[in-house]
Amino acid sequence: MVRFVHDETYSGAAKVAVFQYLTVAVFIFLLVGYWDLQVRNEGLYNSKAQQNQIKSLPMPAPRGRILDRDGRVIVDNHASFRLVLSREGLRDDHVEPIARGLNLDVQDFQARVRRFQRRPSYFTIPVKEELTSGELAFVESHRNDLMFPEMELIKSQFRLYPKDGIASHLIGYVGEISEAELNSQEWANHNPGDLIGKMGVERFYNDTLTGIDGQRQVRVDNRMNTREVLGMKPAVPGKDLRLTIDLDLQTVAEMALEGKRGAVIAIAPATGDILAYASAPGYDPNLFVGRMKSSELKGLLEDPTKPLFNRVIQSQLAPGSTFKPFVALAALESGAIDENFSVHCAGSATFYGRVFKCHKKGGHGTVNLHSAIAQSCDVYFYNVGRMTGIDTIAKYAQMAGLGKKTGIDLPGEKEGVVPSSAWKIRTQREKWYEGETISVAIGQGAVTVTPLQLAYAYSGLLNNGVWMRPHILDDGHPPQVDHTADINPLNLAKVLDGMCAVVNEGGTGAAVHMSDIVLCGKTGTAQRASNDLLKTKLGEEAFRDDAWFVGFASRENPEIVVVALYENGMHGPLAAPIVRDVIKAFYDKKARQKQSGAPQNLAAAVRVPGSDLASPGLRSR
Amino acid sequence: MTEFNDSVVHTPPGRMRVWSFRPFTWVLLPVLAILFQVYVPRFFSFLSYLELPLLVTVYFSIMRRQPPAGALTGCLIGLAQDSLTFIPLGMYGIVKTVIGYSAASVSLRFDVENSGLRYVMSFGFFIAHQVLFWALSHMLLGAHDDFKLPQTLIAAFLNGIIALPLFQVFDKLKSEAQ
Amino acid sequence: MDGLFSRYRNLSALLLLLAGQLILLAWQIKSNGETRLLRVWAVTAVTPMARGMELTRDGLGGFFARWFMAGKLEQDNAQLRRQTAQLEIKNQLLQEQMQQSGRAQALLEFRSQLPSKSLPSRIIGSAPGVQSGVFILDRGSLEGVKRGMAVVTGEGIVGQVVASYPTASLMMLASSQGFAAGVTSQKSRTRGLLKGEGGTCHIFGIRNEQPVDKDEWFYTSGEDRIFPRGLRVGQARAVKDGVDGKEIEVRPIALDGDFAEVLILLDAVHGQIPELATPSNPDVQILDAPAPDQNGPMTDPASPATPGEAPSAMRTDADRIRDHYKRVVESQNFQVGTTPYRAPDFNRQPAAAPPALAPATGAVPDNQAVPVKPSPEPASAAKVPGLISQPSQRPKPPAQDRP
């Protein structure tokens, strides 16, 4: 100070000036820093806004829709808006008009806002989910800087599934990718937060259904309001997926299973198209959309009826008498018996020192192949099985596609078991006992199938030894042959005629005879092969027999084969009306189509060249 | 051009005169300038280029030749302008405070009655005003708009042109301070 | 020494002023800008002068007009113009009502819905500074003007009151950034959202598939709770398909004309805001929601379903088909999958479909694979989307067979 006073030269004054301005500059610099720290950068959002003046906002691509074979929508999307209030701009006297504008209870809303007052200010207050168009108009017209700038809209895409769990196991659902999935090979190229298909078609065709998210480069102000759109990469929506499912049949199948536990699967033998695919009980996939309460999830997981269990491809149960036609075919083809082979059924028979009962206590009397299939005589098939031998039975069952995965385009398929001597040595390191063959001959013992396998096995028989690969995706391409087998048509006809007699000649399925449709089929009543359900809370009901019915129509021109599993349904004939009604729906629809001039060959698939439909090769796995 | 040939840079201290205005003028001129800003562009949108409050600030500052008075004048006019706009109060206030102070500081060294210099000052302070406002809104409010240089240059040119006759009118209201 | 001191004094004064204003700024930003009082003073101080200038201008114009036209023609003219504007608004509302319902109903609804009071007002200035498109109106809270009120002319909507001071208020123009209003197209009654973009306006929220023609008129839908339903907005100047739905450019018709004189819609129909524990806000007006009309909900461009509905109400074709089948079997007293010895007839239609399904034709997916031909009979089957129709008479009686 003193030096300056004495320094009266011009350069001295200049130095003072420079010093002054320097001081001011430093002061301003410090002030700006203080401002940044204390005024602008307060709170998490503000600091984020600072670093992201140019932001890339993701534009979520809608997932492809899932359509039935006629293009009717099974799974849709809906965009919805969620309103949150940012706490920073919120003023007490805005609460009431906002509540009124959104038709909220003012007191409730004020209480909610008050609850948030103790939390950090970057917590936003959720106001309303799924805004209606009116509410959206209110929000948009009031959230400008001069009215209620604290209102923030968040847009999201949601999946819309059918209610009541229609086709829930087939479709599956989407959810956020989990930690475990992120680490797995299958989802290697996904990021945390991605929505992926968790089950069913949603999972298997995840890559096809998933679109490519777009991006919007925007310049935002400190309130995160978009000021300028710098560039835009539009979102590419996922491809629509057309399934082979027919919603008419699917609906009837679902209705037929109401109040039951079981599964229904319908296949067009000529193409392998899956026309209906139902597993009951189902679940509402809409529950998985958005936020699911943990109690709801717990309820689903702990439900003794296992609503999440996909019975069509995962339920491995003894097929019971529905296995007999394969035994008959094996016996005929191997020459173990001929069509005239007959047996006297007295209600039971003794083999290897053990008594095996027939389901009819009084016995069927003398039965031949035709009547034995029609009446489902166990004693007849004990004999046929013993004469044919386990390995021959296994050979023909495997030929029909049992005991291995069908290769359907759905995740999680189980293979079932077709026992043989080699199988027993491999799995149990024990030799096969002849007595075991007796049980297998009537579809009991170690033999287990899934409903899909059974339907697939029959579809090949009905298609004269040509098994078409079962598939869910209707991609417009010719159906693929999975494998073929050389079967004597005469032997095949004898077996199928027997199945015709089941329904049409007073057999075990007579209750589902229809005068205008030649429905053929086979009932099955099977004891539980596994004891898994015994452990559940179902109690006595879990000990009851499973009811099966395999049906097809017509005898001359088999267009559809339907398998119904009615778990603990006691008697095979109780599963028959399920199949009958699905087949009736099939022919009723054909009649409608004939009436309206639409293509009639339903089984041969109604296809319209759809450019944006998924093409093969896009399968995720 | 002759005026440019005058020595505008060094005004001998003896010749430096300080002007004063009646209190009425102090109030009326800024209010009229702000009113003009609010009202007239509604009918003649091209007049929205004018920054009359700035010109008034500059005029008072250079005539008073007292930086604190200049800063205060700028501050008050700026705040008044702020209160009629819908940006946070103080933005125009700060900018005009700085301009008022600078204008008064400059006037200590130059002959402020020289028309050429008046033009240059109006032109320069207009640009400074716009740059400062832009910088402040970036730094303090987090705005992200780009600075429009060509428009600013044209507007500065026009403001300079307007300033000359305007200042001469204002000159009629002044009286020499004792 | 003196010079040095005076320099420091100058600088101190500058820094003091700057610091003071910085603190003022910081306080506003931190407290979210509650400086209403200062602004009220400023606007209140300026308004009388601006009004005076406006009157002077008007008076001068009037003087010359009277000079040439003589008498009170000009005065009458001004009053008539104001009346015409009000009548035109009434007329618009009335016409809308008449179109929607019967004449008697229209009159009733009109009486209950017409803004009982509208306040003529003048624009006396534009708010200088950053917010272009904000104008000062010469009426304020003393005359009942509140934030959130609609500003219109006889031609259509002009803007919205965004701030009100005792003697003046601020209006945001419909074309300015941040403005939004719910609109409905005249022909197809498609609903969308008009947003100002600083100069032009665009309508958003309309799917590409929805029909909107160029030059089609748009009216307010009332959903925004600012503008009552049925006010004219403007014509679609350009319509094109975009990524997120239709891109429709609209210029509010009122903005093309002279809107120096406007009407502020004060609506006395709306009740008082009740007293509440936390401060209520009598300065903001929120209109009651409009009565529902027959038109469907606004469809979101990104959503083929119908948002705007509660999600529980949204359904896919699968749900609709299921409902249909349920009704069919219920009408036959049949339990699918259970009833023995009798097969259902899925083609026999139930006696009468509930009205909920009746207009379902609009919901048929766009890429319907099977061409659904209209049923030769008007009833039933064709009303379910995707259900292939058949006449309701069945060729044969239902099967009643036993083996």
Domain-embedded: residue C102: yes
Domain-embedded: residue C178: yes
Query: What are the backbone angles phi and psi of residue B73, rounded to the nearest 5°?
Result: -55, -50
Say which DSSP state A40 is in: I
Sorting pLDDT into bands at 50, 70 and 90, what band is C354? Answer: very low
Please give, rounded to a whole number of angstroms, the shortest distance from the CA of B83 to a CA of chain C.
5
The whole-number pLDDT of residue A9 equals 58
Residue ranges making up the domain that contains C296: 38-271+280-302
Considering the domain architecture, whether residues C338 and C261 belong to the same structural domain is answered as no
pLDDT at B51 over 80: yes
Pair C252, C235: CB distance under 8 Å = no
Interface check A40 vs B, CB under 8 A: yes
Domain-embedded: residue C7: no
Average pLDDT for residues A591-595, to the nearest whole number? Answer: 87
pLDDT at A201 over 80: yes
| Residue among A323, A321, A370, A380 nearest A348 (CA) | A380
Q: What percent of chain A has pLDDT over 90?
A: 41
- Which of A296-300, A457-461, C70-74, C141-145 shows the lowest per-residue confidence on average (mean pLDDT)? C70-74
Residue A498: CATH number of its domain: 3.40.710.10
Domain-embedded: residue C25: no
Q: Please report, for chain B, the start and end positions of each structural domain, with discontinuous segments joined by +.
A: 17-172
The whole-number pLDDT of residue C90 equals 67
Domain-embedded: residue A604: no
The whole-number pLDDT of residue A399 equals 93
Average pLDDT for residues A109-126, to the nearest whole number? Answer: 76
Domain-embedded: residue A297: no
| Residue among A242, A264, A232 nearest A251 (CA) | A264
Average pLDDT for residues A532-547, to the nearest whole number? Answer: 62
Considering the domain architecture, whether residues A214 and A71 belong to the same structural domain is answered as yes
Considering the domain architecture, whether residues A488 and A364 belong to the same structural domain is answered as yes
The whole-number pLDDT of residue C54 equals 67
Helix (H) or strand (E) holding B2: helix B2-5
Query: Does the beta-carbon distance from A32 to B139 stay under 8 Å?
Result: yes
Which amino acid does the sequence have at A574? Answer: L
Q: Is C33 left (phi over 0), alpha (psi -120 to 50) or beta?
A: left
Catalytic residue among A321, A371, A420, A459: A321
Domain-embedded: residue A421: yes
- The answer for B 126-155 residues in CB contact with C (under 8 A) is 137, 140-141
Considering the domain architecture, whether residues C83 and C218 belong to the same structural domain is answered as yes
Query: Does the beta-carbon distance from C32 to A88 stay under 8 Å?
Result: yes
Contacts of A40 in chain B (CB under 8 A): 140, 142
Query: Does the beta-carbon distance from C10 to B98 stay under 8 Å?
Result: no
The beta-carbon neighbor of C42 closest among B48, B80, B105 is B80
- Which of A458-467, C76-85, C106-115 shows the lowest per-residue confidence on average (mean pLDDT)? C106-115
Say which DSSP state B105 is in: H
Q: Which alpha helices (H) appear in A288-403, and where do they start and end?
A: 294-302, 311-314, 324-334, 369-375, 378-388, 390-399
What is the C-alpha separation between A510 and A496, in angstroms, rounded? 16
Q: Which two tokens stand for residue B63?
A: 């005539």
The beta-carbon neighbor of B97 closest among C17, C25, C35 is C17
Considering the domain architecture, whether residues A487 and A552 belong to the same structural domain is answered as yes
Considering the domain architecture, whether residues C292 and C319 belong to the same structural domain is answered as no
Query: Does the beta-carbon distance from A219 to B139 stay under 8 Å?
Result: no
Considering the domain architecture, whether residues C192 and C83 belong to the same structural domain is answered as yes
Please give, rounded to a whole number of angstroms, the shortest distance from the CA of C50 to a CA of chain B.
7
Residue A74: CATH number of its domain: 3.90.1310.10
Interface check C289 vs A, CB under 8 A: yes
Q: What is the pLDDT of residues B99-126, one digit of tens each?
A: 999 999 888 888 778 888 889 989 999 9
Query: What are the backbone angles phi and psi of residue C279, rounded to the nearest 5°?
Result: -60, 130
| Residue among C347, C345, C375, C373 nearest A598 (CA) | C373
Considering the domain architecture, whether residues C286 and C359 belong to the same structural domain is answered as no
pLDDT at A411 over 60: yes
Q: Which one of A20, A30, A40 would you mutate to disrupt binding with B, by most B Cβ within 10 Å of its Cβ?
A: A40
Considering the domain architecture, whether residues A422 and A530 belong to the same structural domain is answered as yes
Considering the domain architecture, whether residues C327 and C209 belong to the same structural domain is answered as no
| Domains of chain A: total | 3
Q: Which two tokens stand for residue C271?
A: 């009740």
What is the C-alpha separation between A419 and C222, in angstroms, rounded? 72
The CA-CA-CA angle for residues A3, A4, A6, to 5°, reads 70
Please give, rounded to a whole number of angstroms, the shortest distance from the CA of A50 to a CA of chain B.
8
Q: What residues contact B149, with CB distance under 8 A and at least 6 apart?
A: none
Please tell me which of A217-226, A531-540, C40-49, C101-110 the model is most confident about, judged by mean pLDDT: C40-49
Query: Does the beta-carbon distance from B41 to C126 stay under 8 Å?
Result: yes
Question: Which has more pLDDT, A2 or A283?
Answer: A283
pLDDT at A330 over 90: yes
Interface check C322 vs A, CB under 8 A: yes
Considering the domain architecture, whether residues C287 and C244 belong to the same structural domain is answered as yes
Q: What are chain C's partners, defined as 3 or more CB pairs within 8 angstroms?
A: A, B
pLDDT at A335 over 60: yes
The whole-number pLDDT of residue A375 equals 92
Average pLDDT for residues B1-26, to the nearest whole number? Answer: 57
pLDDT at A405 over 90: yes
Query: Does the beta-carbon distance from A228 to B140 stay under 8 Å?
Result: no
Domain-embedded: residue A248: no
Pair A56, A96: CB distance under 8 Å = no
DSSP states along A179-198: HHHHHSSTTTT--TT-EEE-
Pair C149, C156: CB distance under 8 Å = no
Residue of B nearest to A50 (CA): B142
Sorting pLDDT into bands at 50, 70 and 90, what band is C110? Answer: very low
Considering the domain architecture, whether residues C143 and C252 belong to the same structural domain is answered as yes
Query: Does the beta-carbon distance from C128 to B101 stay under 8 Å?
Result: no
Contacts of A220 in chain B (CB under 8 A): 144
Q: What is the pLDDT of residues C166-188, one digit of tens each?
A: 788 888 888 887 788 888 887 77
Domain-embedded: residue A280: no
- Which of A111-120, A595-604, B25-34 shows the lowest per-residue confidence on average (mean pLDDT)? A595-604
Domain-embedded: residue A432: yes
Interface check C129 vs A, CB under 8 A: no
pLDDT at C200 over 90: no
Contacts of A104 in chain C (CB under 8 A): none
What is the C-alpha separation between B106 and B116, in angstroms, rounded? 14
Please give, rounded to a whole number of angstroms, the shortest distance from the CA of A52 to a CA of chain B.
11
Average pLDDT for residues C351-380, to the nearest whole number? Answer: 37
Considering the domain architecture, whether residues C45 and C183 belong to the same structural domain is answered as yes
DSSP states along A533-562: GGGSTTGGGGGSPEEEEEEEE-SSS--EEE
Pair B85, C127: CB distance under 8 Å = yes
Considering the domain architecture, whether residues A90 and A33 belong to the same structural domain is answered as no
Q: Which alpha helices (H) appear in A75-196, and where do they start and end?
A: 92-101, 106-115, 133-142, 168-171, 179-183
Sorting pLDDT into bands at 50, 70 and 90, what band is A191? Answer: confident
Considering the domain architecture, whether residues C195 and C99 belong to the same structural domain is answered as yes
Radius of gyration of chain A (CA): 34
Helix axes of B52-64 and B115-141: crossing angle, nearest 10 degrees: 120
Question: Which has more pLDDT, C377 or A290?
Answer: A290
pLDDT at C105 over 80: no
Q: Which one of A112, A147, A574 would you mutate to disrupt binding with C, by most C Cβ within 10 Å of its Cβ?
A: A147
Considering the domain architecture, whether residues C210 and C292 belong to the same structural domain is answered as yes
pLDDT at C45 over 80: no
Considering the domain architecture, whether residues A141 and A235 belong to the same structural domain is answered as yes
Domain-embedded: residue A287: no
The whole-number pLDDT of residue C144 equals 87
pLDDT at C306 over 70: no
Considering the domain architecture, whether residues A462 and A502 belong to the same structural domain is answered as yes
Considering the domain architecture, whether residues C345 and C221 belong to the same structural domain is answered as no
Could you tell me the sign of the dihedral formed by the alpha carbons of A291, A297, A300, A301, in that order?
A: positive
Domain-embedded: residue A292: no
Q: Which one of C11, C225, C342 would you mutate to disrupt binding with A, by most A Cβ within 10 Å of its Cβ?
A: C225
Residue ranges making up the domain that contains A33: 2-40
| Domains of chain C: total | 2
- Which of A430-439, C291-300, C316-325 shows the lowest per-residue confidence on average (mean pLDDT)? C291-300
- Which of A58-62, A81-85, B120-124, C244-248 shows the lowest per-residue confidence on average (mean pLDDT)? A58-62
Pair C234, C218: CB distance under 8 Å = yes
Considering the domain architecture, whether residues A171 and A263 belong to the same structural domain is answered as no
Question: Which has more pLDDT, C271 or A77?
Answer: A77
Considering the domain architecture, whether residues A431 and A483 belong to the same structural domain is answered as yes
Query: Does the beta-carbon distance from C305 to A68 stay under 8 Å?
Result: no
Question: Which has more pLDDT, B12 or A126?
Answer: A126
The whole-number pLDDT of residue A542 equals 64
Domain-embedded: residue C401: no
Contacts of B77 in chain C (CB under 8 A): none
Please give, rounded to a whole number of angstroms, the shortest distance from the CA of C105 to a CA of chain A.
23
* Residue A11 known to be catalytic: no
What is the C-alpha separation between A123 and A125, in angstroms, rounded? 7
The CA-CA-CA angle for residues C2, A23, B106, to 5°, reads 60
The whole-number pLDDT of residue C282 equals 52
Please give, rounded to a whole number of angstroms, the shortest distance from the CA of A391 to a CA of chain C.
37
Sorting pLDDT into bands at 50, 70 and 90, what band is C360? Answer: very low
The whole-number pLDDT of residue A551 equals 95
Domain-embedded: residue C24: no
Residue of C nearest to A149 (CA): C178
Average pLDDT for residues A562-590, to the nearest whole number? Answer: 89
Interface check C16 vs A, CB under 8 A: no
Q: CA neighbours within 13 Å on the CB side: how many for B112?
A: 26
Query: Does the beta-carbon distance from B88 to C28 stay under 8 Å?
Result: yes
Please give, rounded to a whole number of angstroms, the shortest distance from the CA of C237 to a CA of chain B.
25
Residue of A nearest to C297 (CA): A133
The whole-number pLDDT of residue A278 equals 94
Considering the domain architecture, whether residues A24 and A143 belong to the same structural domain is answered as no
Q: What percent of chain A has pLDDT over 70?
A: 84
What is the C-alpha separation between A80 and A153, in angstroms, rounded? 10
Interface check B79 vs C, CB under 8 A: yes
Residue of B nearest to A49 (CA): B142
Q: What is the pLDDT of residues A249-271, one digit of tens each?
A: 999 999 999 988 999 999 999 99
End-to-end CA distance of chain B: 32
Considering the domain architecture, whether residues A33 and A124 belong to the same structural domain is answered as no
Question: Which has more pLDDT, C165 or A482?
Answer: A482
What is the C-alpha separation between C17 and B64, in angstroms, rounded? 18
The whole-number pLDDT of residue C367 equals 35
Q: Which one of A47, A145, A221, A223 would you mutate to disrupt binding with B, by most B Cβ within 10 Å of its Cβ?
A: A221
Q: Which one of C14, C179, C286, C298 would you mutate to disrupt binding with A, by most A Cβ within 10 Å of its Cβ?
A: C286
Sorting pLDDT into bands at 50, 70 and 90, what band is C368? Answer: very low
